[in-house]
Amino acid sequence: MESSQPAIDHALDGQSKVPEILAVLIVCTVLSTGLVTLRSYSRAFISGGFGADDWALVAALVCVSSPATIIAFGRYSLPAHQ
């Protein structure tokens, strides 16, 4: 009985993009968190009004940052070539 698994090409073992993917995830998450924090602070304390658009921005940041955090720190999220 033949296996339905494709043959594994071990020539690609040294070409993992995991470090680059993690760098992009971390930089983008830190940058977006910092910008949303600065905007939220300025809207809440300097201009005196924290509106629905600000709450939507914070909710969007949480929705984007959660998967990025899981990918960046997950044990099995970014496997190398097999």
48: left (phi over 0), alpha (psi -120 to 50) or beta: left
Distance, CA of 57 to CA of 35 (rounded, Å): 11
Compute CA distances 81 → 8, 41, 58, 76, whole Å.
Answer: 9, 44, 36, 12
Instruction: Give, as one character, the DSSP assignment of residue 59.
Output: H
Sign of CA dihedral 53, 24, 73, 33: negative
Q: What is the pTM of this model?
A: 0.67
State the pLDDT at residue 78. Answer: 58
Number of domains in the chain: 1
Q: What pLDDT, in 10s, does the model give residues 37-71?
A: 999 999 988 888 888 999 999 999 999 888 888 87
* Residue range(s) defining the domain that contains residue 50: 16-73
Domain assignment present for residue 3? The answer is: no
Residue 9 inside a domain? The answer is no
81 within domain boundaries: no
